[in-house]
Amino acid sequence: MQLNLAECFFRRAEQQPDHALILGQDPGQTTRYCEFRLEVLQLARQLAETGVGRGDNIGLHHRSGRDYIAFIYAVWACGACVTPLPLELTAPEKREIFQHIHIDAVISGAEIFEPLAAALICPAVSLTPRAVFARTRVVPAAPPQLAAVNPAFIRFTSGTTGDAKGVVLSHESIHARIHAANRALHINSEDRIVWLLSMDYHFAVSIVAYLTFGASIILPKNSFGVTLLAAASRHKSTIIYGAPIHYSLMTQDDTGAALPAELRLAIVTTTALSSAAAEDFHARFGRVLNETYGIIELGLPAINVSNARAKQGSVGQVLPDYQLRLDRTEGQEHGEITVRGPGMLDAYYSPWRDREAIIQQQGGWFRTGDLGRIDADGFLYIVGRLKEMISVGGLKFFPEEVESVLESHPAIRAASVFGVEERQWGTTTAAHLVLADASTAPDEQALRAHCRQALASYKIPGRFQWVERLTYTASGKKIRSADKLRPPESE
């Protein structure tokens, strides 16, 4: 019989029926494992009555939260698979998902259904008082190999290393990932985890792990620092799972609130943590943040659970079930991170390439496209993205290095560095800079002098341009682009 993650949750719920699964904002808003199991089964019955079953793929267009978790588990309980449709995507971006991925039907928040209506057969059927269900109008064919991998998730995303659309994760892969990650996280029924991220992008190695290992999930009302600290304290939280911005908001809280003494991990994910934010958090709370290295294709092969200040900035040692190798050119400290281990993606969806084909092409290892270095104690540091590496006259470096020097200037709040193709000179570099509050912009000469103290001359940007703000992806990653760069002033 094929593994089903919903069954894993049902078994856990039978073992600890009265244990709290969701800890809401108010004392009366606790949902126990047995209650949630019944809710999932009821939803699964309703979905099955509409014809949802094995082989179907259901788009989920819903706010993150307890209902989101219930819908995913109900779809799995029917034997179907889920494709998240993130709410913040624009209408054309949502259309692109329907164009590439075979989606049989959609579960949507009732009040946010309208933007999807053109792709769906209306009227939608009411599933709960706040959610509707509708079948899709035109469906591209699913890859014939899909059913054989027992899919749980199809995440529409560009592949890490190419133009492939969609990452397929089976129940077995997710199960393998959460067990591998738990050799470092040790999540169990004693854990109460503050959850702060979008479930569209974070679910497989986090929420599924919590439900499988019997933890309780705390869902704060909003992201304000005071709210997060109050929720963590009220529920004696043992783990917080958030993005750098959440920890910055907690650091800046001015009510004097503290973190609970029970807290054992403050996990930070989604994007690199700046050393200033980590230092500020430590100064306020006396705690080191636990950085992670998560990749949709792989899971969580590295987590820094050392809680050692000396290892701040590292994503930790590679977990016991994984092997990690840096693909280096001779004489260089850093190299492309390649990994092998359990729970690797089952396939890229379009064009279809299964796991064997992906890793065979890459010598048995998964090439991440990220660049890292490993210190003498085996701690991994992410240095940059291979495709963002800048090469000036064959001399290669990473924008992050230059940005960090620029951001150490007191008048600079944020910097983005990127290559620019100049007709005469090949690649040169430029920087977008955001002025710090109440500062006067230094001139280019002063900026160059500042850079020269720390950087080889080829790394110093040829042009500096002050901008109001930098651009970021929805998940908070910096978009380094020359699109807004003004042409150089004529001399």
Partner 1 sequence: MIMEIQTALRSYIVDEVLAGNPPEGFDDDYELIETGIIDSLSTMNLVIYLEQKHAVVFGINEIIPRHFRSIRALSTFAQSKQT
**Site track for partner 1 across 14-53, x = CB under 8 A:** ----------------------------------------
CB of 136 to partner 1, least distance (A): 20
DSSP helix/strand/coil, 472: strand
Half-sphere exposure of 449 (CA within 13 A, CB side): 5
Phi/psi for 210 (5° steps) reads -65, -45
The answer to whether 468 contacts partner 1 (rule: CB under 8 A) is yes
Bridge partners of residue 151, in order along the sequence = 170
**Site track for partner 1 across 103-142, x = CB under 8 A:** ------x-xx-x----------------------------
**Which positions from 79 through 98 interact with partner 1, judged by CB under 8 A?**
88
CB of 90 to partner 1, least distance (A): 11
The CA radius of gyration of the chain, in Å to the nearest whole number, is 24
Choices 26-34, 126-134, 219-227, 395-403; region in contact with partner 1 by CB under 8 A = 219-227
Instruction: List, in order, residues 6 or more apart from 478 with CB less than 8 Å away.
Output: 271, 416, 470, 471, 472
Total of chain residues touching partner 1, rule CB under 8 A: 27
The correct pick among 163, 254, 330, 483 for binding partner 1 (CB under 8 A) is 254
**Which positions from 418 through 437 interact with partner 1, judged by CB under 8 A?**
437
Bridge partners of residue 218, in order along the sequence = 23, 194
Choices 242-250, 291-299, 314-322, 343-351; region in contact with partner 1 by CB under 8 A = 242-250
The answer to whether 225 contacts partner 1 (rule: CB under 8 A) is yes
CB of 450 to partner 1, least distance (A): 23
Choices 136-144, 251-259, 345-353, 400-408; region in contact with partner 1 by CB under 8 A = 251-259
| Burial degree of 220 (CB within 10 A; 0-12, 13-18, 19+) | buried
Hey, what are 131's tokens? 């959610």
Angle of helix 444-452 relative to helix 399-407, nearest 10 degrees? 110
**Region for residue 420 given its phi and psi (left: phi exceeds 0; alpha: psi -120 to 50; beta: otherwise):** beta
The answer to whether 361 contacts partner 1 (rule: CB under 8 A) is no
Other beta carbons within 10 Å of 362: 14
Hey, what are 295's tokens? 């990749």
Binding site for partner 1 (CB under 8 A): 63-64, 88, 109, 111-112, 114, 196, 198, 220-227, 245, 248-249, 252-254, 437, 468-469, 472
